[in-house]
Amino acid sequence: MSSRKNAGRRDMRKNAPVTSDVIAMFDQLQIEEFKKAFSMIDRDQDGFIEKADLRDLLTSLGKNPTEECLEGMMNEAPGSINFTMFVTMFAERMKVPKEVIKNAFGCFDDQNAGVINEDRLRELLTTKGDRLTDEEVDELFRVAPIKNGLLDYNKFTRILKNSAADKDEATSSKANAEKDKDEATSSKANAEKEQ
C-alpha cells in the first residue's frame, strides 16, 4: 500500500468516532474479545483490516485464499474496516434468522428428532471449524435445554434469539428513555421561558 494511502487512512482514523450505537449493544467483556480478535486480524496494526491482513491470517491458518475470495470478504464491508465497522459487521451476523440456526443444528440431527446428543455436540464444537474450549462449551451448555444428555435445538434457538432480542430491546428502551428525558427537559425550559 502506498504511503499516501496510509496517510489518508491515518487521517480517517483520527476523525473516526470512538463509540457507536452498535458498540453499545455489547458488554465490556464482549468488546474486549472483539478488540483481541480485531488485533489478531490487523496484522500490521494500522487500525484497519485490509486484504493483506486477511491473506496473512488465512495463510497462518493453513489456507491459501484466492484473490477472488479475499475481494469477496473485503466487499462485505461498505467501506474501510476499522474497529467500529468490524463490530458492526459482527452484529449484523448476529441477526441470523431462527430458521438458519435451526437448520445448522439440524445438520447434526441424524434422526431428525429436534435434538442433538450433548457429547457429540461438545465434540463437534471443540474439534471442528471455529473451535470452542471446553470452558466455552460448558458456559453454552449452562443455558441450553439439555435433558437426558440431549440438547433440544429448537428451544435452544429460541433462547439464543430471545436473548439477542432482549439485548436489542434493552438498548432501544434506553435510547427512548433518554430521548423522552431530553424532550421533557426541553419542554420544561420552554415553559419557564414563557413565564
Angle at 16 between CA 42 and CA 173, to 5 degrees: 105
Q: Which residue has the higher pLDDT, 187 or 45?
A: 45
How far apart are alpha carbons 178 and 80 in whole angstroms? 31
Q: What is the mean pLDDT of the chain?
A: 76
- pLDDT one-digit tens code per residue, 35-66: 998 998 998 899 999 999 989 888 887 888 88
pTM listed for this prediction: 0.43
Q: Which residue has the higher pLDDT, 71 or 18?
A: 71
Confidence of residue 129 (pLDDT cuts 50, 70, 90): confident
The most confident of 4-13, 126-135, 166-175, by mean pLDDT: 126-135
| Cα→Cα distances 58→52, 65, 87, 130, 173, Å | 10, 7, 20, 13, 40
Predicted pLDDT at 110:
80
Map grid coordinates 441450553 to a residue. Answer: 144
115-117 vs 146-147, strand pairing mode: unpaired
Q: Is the pLDDT of residue 12 over 50?
A: no
Task: Please say whether the dihedral angle defined by the alpha carbons of residues 177, 181, 182 and 187, taken in this order, is positive or negative.
Answer: positive
The C-alpha cell at 71 is 475481494
Domains and CATH numbers, the chain: 3-93 (1.10.238.10), 96-195 (1.10.238.10)
Q: Is the pLDDT of residue 113 over 80?
A: yes
Q: Is the pLDDT of residue 149 over 60?
A: yes
Confidence of residue 96 (pLDDT cuts 50, 70, 90): low
Question: How confident is the model over 65-87, as a mean pLDDT?
Answer: 87
